[in-house]
Amino acid sequence: MNSPDLSNPRIFQTLGRVDAKSLETCDQLLLILPLKPAAKLFKQLPDGSKLQAVLRGSAEDSTPAFVSRLTNLKQTLVIGGRLKPSASAFEQLTLGRKLVAAATNDKAGSLGICVLGFDTAEQITIVNNILAAALAAAFQLPTYKSKKLPPTIKSLRLIGMPKRVDTARTEAEAAGNNLARWLTSMPPNKMDALHYAELARNIAKSRGWSYKRFATKALTKLGAGAFLAVAQGNDDDSASIIRLRYRPGKKTTRADLALVGKGIIFDTGGTNLKPFSSMLDMHGDMQGSAVALGILVAITELDLPIAVDCWLALTENRTGPNAYKSRDVVTAANGKTIQTIHTDAEGRMALADTLVLASRDKPGIIFDYATLTGTCISAITTRYSGVFTNRAQLHPRLKRTGQNSGERVWPFPIGDEFLEELKCHSADLRQCSPSGAGDHILAASFLGEFIENETPWVHMDLSASDCDDGLAHIASKFTGFGVRYTMSVILDDELYKAKT
């Protein structure tokens, strides 16, 4: 199976003054100004007095703040935006998405980004955040239309920068996020578990990762009864757990960081069948695995000097005569027995055994990603994702990373008091509570029972993975939430180095 083209549009940089010559290279220009720009800023711009007049006639809270055309040969379309002082990363990214959307309604061509009126550090941060939105918009998601769609952005230009901007991180994060969104958007008949495993193998080969596929026969020997309970509803032997290893010049087998992703290729709900409206987009129930894979791509793009394992739990959750049922009792790879309650709570079953395997290798820390529960969406909407950890002292750091990255999270508690609701007479614990209340907390508490060696662990319930109107810098329905967040965990917080 062919991999998507993750190459970004070519990026040019024009240093120094914003002049007519530099703007002649742009078909569209995103012009980002402070909320109340000084009059002198417009003197730096060709047609500055015209742009200032247009801005005066617009409402302060309008986005775009104004739209105008320059009187140059290209008739460059200028889309203006304003940022309040100390605008958050989320606000900057959101502005970028809205401005890029306005620009790409015009003809495809070279898109310029110009940020004026901020100090140099702030300017560079804003430019990278607007660039992140442009790179997301430029990427073409899978389409099977008979007529090929043209690109929306052919090249990008950073105009009027005081010094050259390092865009490597933004480009790497875009590659990872674009891969996650591409995988999630693939139709389920084009991306089944076997095709997914093949694609992961191809990417591993091209990126220099080691690849190992644990098929159902190997998982049976490992006693992975929780994963296999979900997989047994398939009419073939397509299910597997994939392990990818990134070791940049390191001989160690121990990972600094392990990434684990839920990869339910299609989720019917199983024997407890979903209604139509709930099943329509269930090809996206593998987004956790796509995010984990996207993070590994971003890490590799930057050649980061950390050892990483990536585990993908790939299966469908089907109906049929062999599908698992309520009140079945199965044994997970760590020997714990589970009484199944609801077959649509399959994600925690597939992740349970995957977390056992990941934690047995004693990584420095585990992050897992899953479109796991509806109650997390009920609790915090699709604007945030939930985070849970067996190290409660990490809550402030996890929340701060969300604010800094623009992919915002909210911490929830887990622990023994919640496991009381999963007590069972015929097994070590129940898969979930029949009442469904607080299921995001119970699911995370359940998963915590499958972490071995006291390994530090963070679980992300991806309630922000699916937004019809887009979120932050991402305009598509599937957001790839978690790639940018985890790169901030690695590069800004260095959480994997912490003594947790």
Nearest Cα residue to 442 out of 425, 424, 420, 457: 420
The pLDDT-based confidence of 105 (bands split at 50, 70, 90) is confident
Q: pLDDT by residue (tens digit) across 180-197?
A: 999 999 999 999 999 999
Strand locations in 253-376, DSSP E?
Answer: 257-267, 308-317, 329-331, 337-339, 365-370
Res 429: pLDDT: 97
Res 149: pLDDT: 79
Residue 281: CA atoms inside 13 Å, Cβ hemisphere, count?
11
Res 499: pLDDT: 63
Q: pLDDT by residue (tens digit) across 222-275?
A: 999 999 999 999 988 999 999 999 999 867 789 999 999 999 999 999 999 999
Q: Which domains does the chain have, with CATH numbers?
A: 10-166 (3.40.220.10), 173-497 (3.40.630.10)
Q: pLDDT by residue (tens digit) across 29-40?
A: 999 999 999 999
Find the mean pLDDT for residues 378-382.
97
What is the signed CA dihedral for 426, 431, 432, 434, rounded to 10 degrees?
A: -50
> For residues 354 and 358, what is the distance between their CA atoms, to the nearest angstrom?
6
Q: pLDDT by residue (tens digit) across 142-164?
A: 999 998 878 889 999 999 999 99
The pLDDT-based confidence of 3 (bands split at 50, 70, 90) is confident
Distance from the Cα of residue 244 to its chain's centroid: 18
Q: Which of 246-260, 350-364, 399-413, 453-467 has the lowest mean pLDDT?
A: 246-260
Nearest Cα residue to 184 out of 297, 285, 311: 285
* DSSP code for 304: -
Q: Which of 59-68, 303-312, 413-422, 437-446 has the lowest mean pLDDT?
A: 59-68
Q: Is residue 11 over pLDDT 80?
A: yes
The answer, yes or no, to whether the previous bond of 363 is cis (omega within 30 of 0) is no
Q: Can you list the pairs that 326-329 forms with residues at least 24 positions away whose Cβ atoms lie under 8 Å? A: 326/271, 326/272, 328/229, 329/426, 329/427
Amino acid (one-letter) located at 21: K
Distance set, CA 65 to CA 56, 62, 332 (Å): 9, 5, 56
The pLDDT-based confidence of 20 (bands split at 50, 70, 90) is very high
What is the signed CA dihedral for 362, 364, 370, 376, rounded to 10 degrees?
A: 120
Res 253: pLDDT: 80
The pLDDT-based confidence of 495 (bands split at 50, 70, 90) is confident
Tell me the torsion sign for CA atoms 36, 42, 45, 50: positive
Q: pLDDT by residue (tens digit) across 282-297?
A: 999 999 999 999 999 9
Q: Is residue 17 over pLDDT 90?
A: no
Share above pLDDT 90 across residues of the chain, in percent, rounded to a whole number:
90
> For residues 305 and 299, what is the distance between their CA atoms, to the nearest angstrom?
9
Res 500: pLDDT: 61
Q: Is residue 447 over pLDDT 90?
A: yes
Pinpoint the alpha helices (H) of 361-464. Answer: 374-380, 395-405, 416-419, 439-448
Res 58: pLDDT: 85
Res 249: pLDDT: 83
Q: Does residue 387 contact residue 409 with C-beta atoms inside 8 Å?
A: yes
Catalytically annotated residues: 274, 348
Tokens describing residue 119: 């100090």
Res 108: pLDDT: 79
Q: Which of 53-62, 377-386, 466-475 has the lowest mean pLDDT?
A: 53-62
* DSSP code for 497: G
> For residues 335 and 360, what is the distance between their CA atoms, to the nearest angstrom?
13
Res 308: pLDDT: 98
Largest CA distance in the chain: 78
Q: Is residue 385 over pLDDT 70?
A: yes
Pinpoint the alpha helices (H) of 208-323. Answer: 216-221, 225-231, 276-279, 287-301
Average pLDDT, the chain: 95
